[in-house]
Amino acid sequence: MPKKKEAPKAEVPEWVLTFGDLMSLLLCFFILLAAFSEIKKPREYQDIIESINEAMGASGGMGLAHILERIDNSMVTNKDERARRDDNKRSTDENVTPNVPGKESQVSIVQEGARHAIGASIVFEAGSYEISKRDQDMIRTQIAPKIRGLNYICPVVGHAWGVEEKRSGLGFDELAYKRAQAVKDFLVREGGVDPTILRVESAGNTEPIELGSSSGQGGDTNRRVQIYQTGRTIEQTHPDPNFTGAGG
């Protein structure tokens, strides 16, 4: 009796086919995510959503009501309306209303955005606004090179703190301002920084870093000056940034 032929073995395991199908579905999913990441035509996007809902047989779920008519005040239709209003510009958040020109050039109020600290804090002795030799070297080597030649507004913020500061005869706000002014003058004189980008500010004793002891008198780092860089430029905040007119 002839021997029964053995069934040929599959060259590829069956699980590989299932794995390949899953990878293909996952790839399609990410392609759809990338395609929907930027809505350039909101009306067509709304049509796609409705087609997917119809194909999947979705008619609402828990807490959802199935609405047949198009929602005119939805986020998608609202963006479509704004795009038509603003002549299909890429960004519909832009103010397209032109300003009325006047006799003198003017600037708009521009928010500075996030502040970025430049270098470490410049710490002062209690009741003093004299810059120590160590901090002078730090300003020359670490702070001034980072803002020298920039066109961005850089606030110089002074701080004061503690009972010893109160006994110095100067108020917290005045002492903090004198410290910030001393750092600004040093940046201009020794660091070669453009004075038009520096803004002296006083935070007084309102922004301590640490309290130290329970009495609130500790924390030597509260007696400090910190320099920041903002996102505003001189052109955005001054109608004559080069100071060529009479106001300079």
Is the separation of the CB atoms in 217 and 160 below 8 Å? no
Q: Which pLDDT band, with edges at 50, 70 and 90, does 150 fall under? A: confident
Same domain, yes or no, for 82 and 142? no
pLDDT on residue 10: 57
pLDDT on residue 27: 92
Q: Is 137 part of a structural domain of the chain? A: yes
CATH no. for residue 164? 3.30.1330.60
Cα distance between residue 198 and residue 147, in whole Å: 10
Same domain, yes or no, for 213 and 131? yes
Asked if pLDDT for residue 129 goes beyond 80, the answer is: yes
Same domain, yes or no, for 138 and 223? yes
Express each pLDDT in 85-111 by its tens digit. Answer: 555 555 545 555 555 555 555 555 556
pLDDT higher at 219 or 150: 150
Same domain, yes or no, for 123 and 206? yes
pLDDT on residue 187: 94
Cα distance between residue 118 and residue 120, in whole Å: 7
Q: Is 113 left (phi over 0), alpha (psi -120 to 50) or beta?
A: left
Same domain, yes or no, for 223 and 173? yes
pLDDT on residue 51: 80
pTM: predicted TM-score of the whole model, two decimal places:
0.54
Of 6-10, 66-70, 85-89, 118-122, least confident by mean pLDDT is 66-70
Same domain, yes or no, for 203 and 152? yes
Cα distance between residue 136 and residue 134, in whole Å: 5
Identity of the residue numbered 22 = L
- Among 144, 145, 224, smallest CA distance to 180 is for 224
With a pLDDT cut of 70, the percent of the chain lying above it is 63
Same domain, yes or no, for 143 and 203? yes
Q: 129: buried, middle or exposed (CB in 10 Å: 19+, 13-18, 0-12)?
A: buried
Same domain, yes or no, for 78 and 178? no
Domain count, the chain: 2
Domain that residue 81 falls in: 43-52+72-90
Q: Is 109 part of a structural domain of the chain? A: no
* Arithmetic mean of pLDDT, 169-197: 92
Same domain, yes or no, for 137 and 232? yes
Q: Which pLDDT band, with edges at 50, 70 and 90, does 163 fall under? A: confident
Same domain, yes or no, for 166 and 216? yes
Same domain, yes or no, for 167 and 217? yes
Asked if pLDDT for residue 120 goes beyond 50, the answer is: yes
Q: Is 169 left (phi over 0), alpha (psi -120 to 50) or beta?
A: left
Same domain, yes or no, for 132 and 207? yes
* Arithmetic mean of pLDDT, 170-186: 92
